[in-house]
Chain A
C-alpha cells in the first residue's frame, strides 16, 4: 500500500492466491486465423480446481472478441455467469414467505371470485 506521506510502500498483510492460465484450442473464425487462446483465473486460497474453472469460464466469455458464434451456452452469457457467481440472495425470497400476506392474498381472492362469477354468468347465459 502506498502512503503519500511516507513516499514508499508498506506491507499491510499477505493473502494466498491461486492463479491459472489455460491454453485453449481455437480453430479460427471468420475474422481470426487458427491459434491457441488463453483463459485467466485468479482465486483466493489454494484452490486449483476453482482457478481452472474460472479460467475456462473466462475463455468461454471471450467468444465475441474472438468472433466465435454465440451457441446459446450459459457459459457464454455474462449475465448468467455473474448471477451464478455473485448472485442475488435467493434465500431472501423463501425467507419472505414466512411473513404474512393477508393484503395481496385478499386482493387475489377478490380477483378470483370476480373471474369465477363472470365465468359462471357466461356459462348460464349460454345454457
Chain B
C-alpha cells in the first residue's frame, strides 16, 4: 500500500477530475473535457472509468466492478484487483452492498439507491460523432441545441428498416437539454437511467467526463408513433427463471442448442440462492 498514493492517482490529478465531475453534475449530460492521464492499462479498457472511480473513492467505500453485467469477466476482475492493491478498499459482488459500482455496458438489475455511485466506462462520448465527424461542429450543435440531424437519422432508420436501428448506446435527452450517449448499455437498460444513485461517465481515451445527478429526467429519443421500446430476448433465465432480467444467449452445442441466462451474475446468483 505504501508504494501508491490512495487509489493510484496523485491528489492534484484527483482534484482536477473532481472539478470535472462537479461541473458535469452541475450541467447534466454536458461533456466536460479533462486532462486524462495514462493509466497502467490499455486505452479502451476503462481508463476513463478507472480515473473517475479513483477520484470518488474514499477508504470507507465498498467497490463492485462489472463488465457485461458479470463480476467475473477479465476487465472487471483486473479493475477490482487494481483498486484492492492501490486503494485497499473493500470489494463486493453484491449490488446492494456496494457504495461505488464501476460498470462496462450494463446497469445492474437491482435498483440502485441514494448514496450509491455508478461509474460507466465510455468508449465514444459524443452521441453525434457518427453523424458529424468534427468536434468543432458537434460542440456547436450541442451549444445551439441543434439536434435535427439526430432526429433525421432516427427517421431514416424507420423509413429504411421499419424501426429505429439502434440496439445499444441508444441516445437520450437529459432534462430536456443535452442529447447524451448513455455508453453502450443495451437499450433495455435505458429506462433505469432515471435513478436514485449518482451516475458518472468517464471516457479516458477521448478525455471527457459527464454525469447525471440523482433523479435526473432522462428520455430516450423517439417519435410519438414509434415510441421507444426497451427489448430483451423473449425467454426466461435458464438458471434463475427470471423473466424480467436482461439475458445473454449461449450456444451450448454444435446442433444449434442454446440457453438464455441473466447477464447480471449477482442478480442471478442471489435468486438461485433465495430459491434454494
Chain A residues proximal to chain B, CB less than 8 Å = 78-79, 83, 88-89, 91-97, 99-104, 106-111, 114-115, 118-119, 122
Contacts and interface: CB of A to CB of B under 8 A. Distances in A.
A92 B43 contact: yes
A109 B250 CA distance: 12
B247 interface: yes
B186 A106 contact: yes
Contacts of B123: 92-93, 96
Contact of A102 (B68, B162, B207): B68
Contacts of B204: 92
Nearest to B136: A79
A100 to B, nearest CB: 5
A107 B186 contact: yes
Contact of B163 (A79, A104, A114): A114
Given A96-B44, A96-B123, A100-B73, A119 B167 contact: no
List of 3 A-B pairs having minimum Cβ-Cβ separation, nearest first: A92-B43, A96-B44, A92-B44
B233 interface: yes
A92 to B, nearest CB: 3
Contacts of A78: 136
Contact of A115 (B161, B186, B246): B161
14 contacts: A79-B134, A79-B135, A92-B47, A93-B123, A99-B67, A103-B68, A104-B167, A104-B186, A106-B233, A106-B246, A107-B167, A107-B187, A107-B231, A118-B162
Contacts of A93: 43-44, 123, 205
A104 B184 contact: yes
A108 B168 contact: yes
A106 to B, nearest CB: 6
